[in-house]
Structure 1
């Protein structure tokens, strides 16, 4: 499986920085780098791009406004020097948000989210799995999900946060990440309210794992997650 990716950044050195990282990951295939989003339009309209590494602040059009203009949206990982755009980036279903300068380890962490999603979606064996087999089942202290052709039992107290990615969710636990076909809304309705809270349209977090709240950013186990404006009041109640 090759994930076709493109880099859009008005700074040449920034593009080269990302291109060098892409070359280290066998699953990625670079099909173009551009100094303006407008120059990538033809490739994107022809659905030849699976993943965009997209700067936000650019002269012609911001990366966020560019993504909003697309009918067919590839996966996107925003790359920017400005942390204040993080929440708006997540609000348009960005896979991740990398704050420049970022390490290869952090880059690989973001790319792995896309790889997990594509492997799950493109595995032909998943086409034969019935709705009953993909259904997430909730018990008193754990849930079971089917992923990677296995059934996983995930204890509630092992979950740090759950990340929604369109038709998939990723369970971030203390020792692994598990991506499965599931609905974040169904999980929100089924998980115990005293233990889990929805903080954003893309995130549910374990209450006991929350370390801090600064503005509209929650810290969970050294990971910073955005708090959506519709969820802020409920989050503040946790802090009294």
Structure 2
């Protein structure tokens, strides 16, 4: 089955990372490239080598809306921004959809499904079972998105709109996401919520005492509301 060729343009590395990750989770899409500025993608788009453009609006230099106006050959465009006031301008430019940051995967998938009526590609919404079967995720490391096996993640720490993934080899990866969403995504693996800010891989729990769990040399607190769930695992 042919896939829609996608390009992501955003000057924020974290936003670029998770949108690219979302694209990779949709079997009907193929990530061609990602760019930090619109100008870098101009020739690729004008050559007709892009079917779908995921485009940030607020960028230094040329904004996303201004960039659309420069294109003689327009792919399907899905705008991504933190500012709702640009929605009308976007739809006046005939964009396919308009997503507000931080973008949840479910909302992203809805936007992609709109393309089914605009292209010859047959789209299906990813089912919960298919999403759970995936045993890896792509996470940002420097300028690259690297494949990390979920089973090799020791624990995940949440802080407002961001989470930090800790891997078995001692590396850390930060992603713009809520811990609750990660908990749902990892629900078919051996992960347990033990605190409002921590999700742990039970495979790596060495010991626990009082209100603390030990994973290697890390001491992680156990929240009062989560003690019963931990007790069930021990028993």
**TM-score, reference length from structure 1:** 0.49
Superposed CA RMSD in Å reads: 1.3
Aligned-pair CA distance for 1:116: 3.3
Q: Distance in 2 between matches of 1:40 and 1:102?
A: 22
- Give the distance between the partners of 1:64 and 1:48, measured in 2 at CA: 20
Could you tell me which residue of structure 1 aligns to residue 111 of structure 2? 110
- List aligned pairs for 1:44-193, cutoff 5 A: 44-119=45-120
In 2, Cα distance between the equivalents of 1:44 and 1:24? 23
| 1:34 matches 2:35 | yes
Per the TM alignment, residue 89 of structure 1 is displaced from its structure 2 partner at its CA by: 0.3
Question: 1-side partners of 2:61 and 2:79: how far apart?
Answer: 17
Structure 2 CA distance, aligned partners of 1:44 and 1:75?
11
Look up the SS of the partner of 2:55 in the other structure: strand
Deviations 1:24-72 (A, max 9, x none): 1011000000000000011111100000000000002110010011110
Secondary structure of 1:59's counterpart equals coil
The unaligned stretches of length 5 or more in structure 2 are: 123-235
2:5 corresponds to which residue?
A: 4
Looking at structure 1, the residues matched to 120 and 51 of structure 2 have their Cα atoms a distance apart, in angstroms, of 13
Q: CA deviation at 1:119?
A: 2.3
Shift of 1:114: 1.1
The answer as to whether partners of 1:8 and 1:37 remain within 8 angstroms in 2 is yes
CA contact (8 A) 1:27 1:115 kept: no
Rounded Cα–Cα distance in structure 2 between residues aligned with 1:101 and 1:3: 24
In the alignment, the residues of structure 1 paired with residue 110 and residue 56 of structure 2 have an alpha-carbon distance, to the nearest angstrom, of 18
Structure scoring higher RCO (CA < 8 A, sep ≥ 6) equals 2
Cα distance in 1 for partners of 2:111, 2:105 equals 10
Larger Rg: 2
Give TM-score scaled by structure 2 length: 0.50
Structure 1: where are the runs of 5+ without partners? 123-240
> Post-superposition shift, 1:102?
1.6
